C-alpha cells in the first residue's frame, strides 16, 4: 500500500485546512492511499524524533506533502530517505527562527492551548536537518504564492530552482485554491 504523509507547519496541526482537504480528497478519490498527518511538536528536536520514528515504522511507499515548516521537513526527508515531496509555501531558512519574534517569547498553537518558547537549541535542531543543496531535484515540486505573508516566495524560487516549481500571483500563506491542485500533486508523487 502507498501512504501520503502530510506534515503541517509551525504552530499548526492536522486540523489545518490543507491537511483536512487532502485527507477528504484522498478518502473520496483515492482510498487506496493511506493518509497520515501526525501532530508535530513545534519544538524542532521533538518534531524530528517523531518524524524519524514515523519514517521507520513502515515499509510502504511513502510520499510527502508539507506546508510551511512541513515543507522544510519534507525537503530533508526527500534528501535523506529518497521520498518524493510536494512542498507548499515552504519555510526555506532555519535562521528565520533567530528573529526576536520567535526566540524566548510565548508562541501559541493555532489549534490548541499549547504554548511554545523556543531557544537556541531549537534553532540548532532545525539547522541539523537543513538541506543546503538538493541533490535530486526531480523528487520535489515546490509551490508558492507571491502573496504569502510568512514565507517569501523568492526564497522558494532560489532554493528549488532546479525542481519542478509553481509560483502563483496573489494568494497567501494558506495557499489559496490548494484543493484544485490535489489531483496533479498525487500524479506527481506517484510518477516514477
Strands 33-36, 2-7: pairing kind: parallel
What pLDDT score was predicted for residue 97? 65
Strands 2-7, 164-168: pairing kind: unpaired
pTM over 0.85: yes
Q: What does the alpha-carbon distance between residue 76 and residue 11 come to, in Å, rounded to a whole number? A: 19
Query: To 10 degrees, the CA torsion angle through 163, 168, 188, 86?
Result: 70
What pLDDT score was predicted for residue 8? 97
What pLDDT score was predicted for residue 192? 79
* Per-residue confidence in pLDDT tens, the chain, 192 aa: 899 999 999 999 999 999 999 999 999 999 999 999 999 999 999 999 999 999 998 888 999 999 999 999 999 999 999 999 999 999 998 766 666 777 888 888 888 988 999 998 998 999 999 999 999 999 999 999 999 998 999 999 999 999 999 999 999 999 999 999 999 999 999 997
Host domain of residue 125: 2-190
| Total structural domains within the chain | 1
Indicate which CATH number applies to the domain containing 15: 3.40.50.1820
Eight-class DSSP state of 179: G
Which residues, 6+ apart, have CB-to-CB distance to 116 below 8 Å? 11, 41, 42, 43, 106, 107, 109
Q: What does the alpha-carbon distance between residue 176 and residue 170 come to, in Å, rounded to a whole number? A: 9
Amino acid at each position: 500500500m502507498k501512504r501520503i504523509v502530510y506534515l503541517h507547519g509551525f504552530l499548526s496541526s492536522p486540523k489545518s485546512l490543507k491537511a483536512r482537504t487532502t485527507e477528504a480528497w484522498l478518502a473520496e478519490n483515492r482510498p487506496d492511499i493511506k493518509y497520515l498527518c501526525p501532530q508535530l511538536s513545534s519544538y524542532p528536536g521533538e518534531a524530528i524524533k517523531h518524524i524519524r520514528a514515523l519514517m521507520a515504522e513502515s515499509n510502504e511507499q511513502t510520499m510527502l506533502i508539507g506546508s510551511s515548516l512541513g515543507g522544510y521537513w519534507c525537503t530533508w526527508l526527500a534528501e535523506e530517505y529518497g521520498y518524493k515531496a510536494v512542498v507548499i509555501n515552504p519555510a526555506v531558512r532555519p535562521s528565520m527562527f533567530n528573529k526576536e519574534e520567535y526566540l524566548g517569547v510565548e508562541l501559541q498553537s493555532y489549534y490548541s492551548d499549547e504554548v511554545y518558547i523556543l531557544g537556541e537549541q531549537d534553532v540548532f535542531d532545525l539547522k541539523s536537518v537543513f538541506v543546503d543543496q538538493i541533490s535530486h531535484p526531480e523528487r520535489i515540486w515546490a509551490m508558492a504564492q507571491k502573496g504569502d505573508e510568512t514565507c517569501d516566495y523568492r526564497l522558494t524560487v532560489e532554493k528549488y530552482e532546479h525542481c519542478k516549481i509553481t509560483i502563483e500571483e496573489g494568494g497567501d500563506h494558506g495557499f489559496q485554491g490548494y484543493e484544485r491542485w490535489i489531483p496533479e500533486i498525487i500524479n506527481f508523487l506517484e510518477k516514477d
